[in-house]
Amino acid sequence: MDPKAILKAIDLSKRYEDEVLALDHLNLEVQSSEVYCLLGANGAGKTTTINLFLNFIPPTTGTCYINGIDVTKDPLEAKKYVSFVSENVMLYGNFTARQNLDFFAKLGGKLNLTKEDYYRVMRRVSLQDKAFEQRVKTFSKGMRQKLGISIAIIKDAPVILLDEPTSGLDPKAAEEFLEILAELKSEGKAIFMSTHDIFRAKEIGDRVGIMKEGRLVMERTREELLDEDLVKVYINYMRSVPLTAQKELVEP
């Protein structure tokens, strides 16, 4: 394991009460200034992985670390170093964008921010000025996703977890979203993103992993992907190849 990795999963497994094995001995790590894209079909275990990192569910076996802190043992300390953007950012509809940002900034430990600080962050994610004091219930999905990433930015955590953040966004909004992620990466953030979008994963990901039936069946670096067609690779892995036959499961 790389000692510089800020996000780590070691032998992480999750078996739910209904005996479904959602995650099977996952080993992965993400470093600062790195974007890791996790691809996989629905039910492959992507969201489970994020839920385990956020301590929403306890692991059956294994450990996950954020900034070297065992998430299960000290979840509150670990959460200081992580931000989260969900597939469908749902905030308080009766609050304005600024009020939502203010609330979540305070929860993230930023207590002394001014209105201008909030406006600056919202401008950075390309939210229009007139939307700052608008109620969020009037926002489009793209605007809500931008506000979601604003919350992550304002918390200024070294790790950002994103669960299919571009799902349902129009191409322009998705492109803008990825530009923001690229900026955050350049600021040293470790970005872990689950997605169905193979093209954008290839575009932004420094590493791309493919999950199938709870297992990480493939992992490629950006350099390796230059010579490969990710779509073909992905489709090949998604075909009914028995998992036991997979040779490319990356060892931690």
The residue ranges that bind other proteins (CB under 8 A) are 51, 54, 56-57, 76-77, 79-80, 82-84, 86, 88-92, 94-95, 99, 103-104, 106-109, 151, 155, 161
Shortest reach from residue 207's CB to other proteins, in Å: 23
Report d(CA 243, CA 252) in Å as an integer.
18
Residues 133 and 77: beta-carbon distance below 8 Å: no
Residue number, 53 or 237, with CB nearest to other proteins: 53
Report d(CA 54, CA 38) in Å as an integer.
16
Residues 204 and 235: beta-carbon distance below 8 Å: no
Shortest reach from residue 111's CB to other proteins, in Å: 8
CB atoms within 10 A of CB 209: 23
Shortest reach from residue 106's CB to other proteins, in Å: 4
Residue number, 72 or 99, with CB nearest to other proteins: 99
Mention every residue, 6+ apart, whose C-beta is less than 8 A from residue 219: 28, 207, 208, 209, 210, 248, 250
Residue number, 90 or 250, with CB nearest to other proteins: 90
SS3 111: coil
Residue number, 10 or 82, with CB nearest to other proteins: 82
Shortest reach from residue 56's CB to other proteins, in Å: 5
SS3 185: helix
Shortest reach from residue 233's CB to other proteins, in Å: 30
Residue number, 13 or 83, with CB nearest to other proteins: 83
Best CA proximity match to 88, nearest among 132, 54, 139: 139
